[in-house]
Amino acid sequence: MDDRPVARSPVDLPELELLKKTVSLTPEDERYLRLIAEVLADQLEEVLDAWFRPHPHLYHYFTGSDGALDLRYVEAVRKRSGQWILDTCRRPYDQAWLDAVHEIGLRHHRTKKNQTDSVASVPHVPLRYVIAFIYHTTEMIKPFLSKKGHAAADVRKMADAWSKSVILQVALWSHVYAVDGDW
Ligand code: HEM
């Protein structure tokens, strides 16, 4: 996230607690998320390379009005995505975090896509791709979690904690896409 004003999340803390329960995110997972931040701190660029690399059909959402990839846009989003990884692991999941998460949902949706970087790109990322991208987002991280000599059981718990948080955040983003009252 950056320092621009963010929208207020329509979700409150009691609802967040229910979602955390639903995705089985426990205080132990929150401790493992802190550990992930330590493990990834000096590998962030490699993680971002792995995350951004393998899906050419998704580059479409980063193209400009001429149809070519807008590298300035990709670079700006990549930088914020690095910060998001750290925020996911380090920030307390409070109302300010809920607001920041909601803002990222809006930035994938036509409501706010392209505004942060003042680009003229494709107007909207479809929800189906955001959901389907969870798999890659949770798999690509695994090799990096095991690079610092932690026991296999701890690596597994880090991977689980990461997956739960990503699923939780996509569930929160889906509010932006859902028909009123259906969320
Ligand atoms: C698990 C799924 C996904 C995660 C965790 C994720 C994560 C992120 C993050 C952290 C940002 C930066 C937010 C910020 O401004 O601070 C971002 C922006 C963006 N993502 Fe995703 N993303 C996901 C799926 C996708 C998919 C499938 C696409 C389609 C290609 C996509 C396209 C974009 C674009 C175009 C932006 C820039 C939006 C803007 O104009 O501000 N994302 N994403």
Residue 2 lies in a domain: no
Residue nearest to atom 26 of ligand 1 (CA): 130
Tell me the residue type at 153.
A
Angle formed by the axes of helices 27-40 and 71-90, nearest 10° = 130
Residue 138 lies in a domain: yes
* Chain centroid to CA 25: 16
- Tell me if the pTM is above 0.75: yes
CATH number for position 139: 1.10.490.10
Structural domain containing residue 156: 13-177
Residue 6 lies in a domain: no
**Residue 29 forms beta bridges with which residues?**
none
- Quick one: pLDDT at residue 55? 79
Residue 1 lies in a domain: no
- Segment 175-179 mean pLDDT: 93
- Quick one: pLDDT at residue 28? 98
Q: How far is the CA of 36 from the centre of ligand 1 (A)?
A: 20
- Segment 26-41 mean pLDDT: 97
Residue 146 lies in a domain: yes
In sequence order, which residues have a C-beta less than 8 Å from that of residue 87 and are 6 or more positions away? Answer: 1, 97, 100
Residue 64 lies in a domain: yes
- Quick one: pLDDT at residue 151? 98
Contacts by residues 75-78 (CB-CB < 8 Å, ≥ 24 positions apart): 76/116, 76/117, 77/117, 78/48, 78/52
63 ligand 1 Cβ < 6 A: no
Residue nearest to atom 3 of ligand 1 (CA): 130
- Segment 121-134 mean pLDDT: 96
Residue 88 lies in a domain: yes
pLDDT in tens, 34-75: 999 999 999 999 999 999 987 788 899 999 999 999 999 999
- Ligand 1 atom at shortest distance from the alpha carbon of 108: 38
Residue 81 lies in a domain: yes
Number of domains in the chain: 1
77 ligand 1 Cβ < 6 A: yes
